[in-house]
Amino acid sequence: MTTQHQPTKITVIGGINSKHQHGVEFDNADLLILTKVLGSDLGAGPMAFDNHHNGALSKAMAAHNFQGNVGEHLAVEIPAIEHGGHPRHMVVVGLGRPDDISRRRMCALFNYSLTLASQYKARSILIPIFPQRSSEAVMNLRGTAAVLRCLVDQRVKSGTLDALEEVRLLCAPQAKQHIEQGLAVEHTLCNQCHILKLA
């Protein structure tokens, strides 16, 4: 007898603001996904999360000369003592040049995030969407959320989400409504889904 896996839900948390120090108080998922654009530093939001973990991510980035090239990634285990013994990880993923960030690249990023969730047997992942994450990004909030909704639906159909129960999007309070509107999209965005790779 097989156990029916509950549908993976997407939760939007409007917690990125100065009071919440970029939302670090919501950093309790099994897997934290941060991004870096080529030619830029991590930025205030990701740095707040890095500081929350005693600079573990920036130390690893320096040790591995992480630049943020598209598809480049770096994973850091969060010490068990910080979270009661359950394995947790944070990963920084390179998005490449700001000019190249598109719907296709965001689809690939989310796809990669879901693959990492399977790799680390994560039940929950947290993906912060920081305000002005890239001044030249061509993606809007609704479009970004619609891409995630579409991809999660496709992976549910293919049965490739494993133990993942929840995807949490962390955003600024004023962005929450736009993201939720994007998540309400119920149709496939592409004529044929090839589930893109980050490269």
Per residue in 34-68, is it b (16+ CB within 10 Å) or e — as a string?
A: bbbbeeeebbebbbbbbebbeebbbebbeeeebeb
Determine the topology of domain 9-183 in CATH: Leucine Aminopeptidase, subunit E; domain 1 (3.40.220)
> What are 171's two structure tokens?
């955003």
Bridge partners, residue 13, by sequence: 170
Cβ-contact 67, 42 below 8 angstroms: no
Rounded to the nearest angstrom, the gap between the alpha carbon of residue 38 and the centroid of all alpha carbons in its chain is: 17
- In the chain, domain spans: 9-183
pLDDT score for 195? 65
3-state SS track over 51-97: HHCCCHHHHHHHHHCCCCCCCCEEEEEECHHHCCCCCEEEEEEEEEC
Question: How would you write the pLDDT of the chain (199 residues) with one tens digit per residue?
Answer: 344 456 789 999 999 886 656 889 999 999 999 999 898 888 888 999 999 899 999 999 999 999 999 988 999 998 765 555 667 999 999 999 888 888 788 888 999 999 999 999 999 999 999 876 443 343 588 888 988 998 898 888 888 888 899 999 999 998 899 899 989 876 666 766 666 667 6
> What are 41's two structure tokens?
């530093």
pLDDT tens digits for range 177-194: 989 998 987 666 676 666
Element (H, E) at 108: helix 103-119
> What are 86's two structure tokens?
């359950």
pLDDT tens digits for range 54-90: 999 999 999 999 999 998 899 999 876 555 566 799 9
- Give whole-number Cα distances, 12 to 145, 166, 168, in Å: 10, 10, 6
- How far is it, in rounded angstroms, from Cα 67 to Cα 63? 11
Cβ-contact 126, 26 below 8 angstroms: yes
**Max alpha carbon distance in the chain (Å)?**
52
Q: CB 3: neighbour CB atoms within 10 A?
A: 5
